[in-house]
Amino acid sequence: MQIEQTPIAGVLLMTPARHGDARGFFSESWNRRTLRQAGVDLPEFVQDNHSLSRQAGTVRGLHYQAPPHAQGKLVRCGRGRLFDVAVDAREGSPTYGQWFGAELSFENGRQLWIPAGFLHGFVTREPDSEIVYKCTAHYDREADGAVAWDSLGIDWDVSDPVLSDKDRAAPAFADWQSPFTSEASA
């Protein structure tokens, strides 16, 4: 398991080992003990999500769930390739409003840990890209929210993306009141 810090404290890049053979490979995509041995103790996960985006250039985000339903997410790409982004939305955080992005793909096997209190979004780089992610809180439709994907200067490298109506109508970050503080973001 390779673990990399990012410029935003708490956001981690992790790459599980792959055991290759003539058939392909085997990888433990999630192992709490392995992470603990590496000094990483993530909260309990209660829900796995999986979505397929048919077109390259699909943007989903920037999304969050308000407390007490805030979600930490461990994100990976099950098929294809995507650029995954976390934005610190915790008022009072020294990195408030800062974003970090990484290319996650089936090929690189990389995973991004995004703590509660962050916005999450991604753009697909290939058709039929699938995202799979573990969440630390259950879905709560009333707590679900969005911030405009293009309101934070994120370098998405996409023009005219495929968007849901919800994402097309989302407020700009500057016009949005974060429900998170750096103390109580869960």
Ligand X SMILES: Cc1cn([C@H]2C[C@H](O)[C@@H](COP(=O)(O)OP(=O)(O)O[C@H]3O[C@H](C)C(=O)[C@H](O)[C@H]3O)O2)c(=O)[nH]c1=O
Does 90 help bind ligand X (rule: CB under 6 A)? no
Closer residue to ligand X in complex, CB, 25/139: 139
CA distance 37 to 135: 21
- Segment 133 to 172, residues that bind ligand X, using CB under 6 A: 139, 164, 166
Residue 161 C-beta: closest distance to ligand X, Å:
12
Neighbours of 31 (CB within 10 A): 13
Neighbours of 47 (CB within 10 A): 13
Instruction: Pick the binder of ligand X from 8, 10, 11, 60 (CB under 6 A).
Output: 60
Instruction: Pick the binder of ligand X from 69, 110, 120, 134 (CB under 6 A).
Output: 120
Task: Determine phi and psi for 123, rounding to 5 degrees.
Answer: -125, 135
- Active-site residue flag, 50: no
Closer residue to ligand X in complex, CB, 14/116: 116
Given a contact cutoff of 8 angstroms between Cβ atoms, the answer to whether 17 and 27 are in contact is yes
- Active-site residue flag, 63: yes
**141 CB-contact burial (10 Å; exposed 0-12 / middle 13-18 / buried 19+):** exposed
Does 121 help bind ligand X (rule: CB under 6 A)? yes
Residue 60 C-beta: closest distance to ligand X, Å:
4
Q: Sort strands 99-105 and 81-88 into parallel, antiparallel or unpaired.
A: antiparallel
Binding site for ligand X (CB under 6 A): 49, 51, 60-61, 63, 73, 120-122, 139, 164, 166
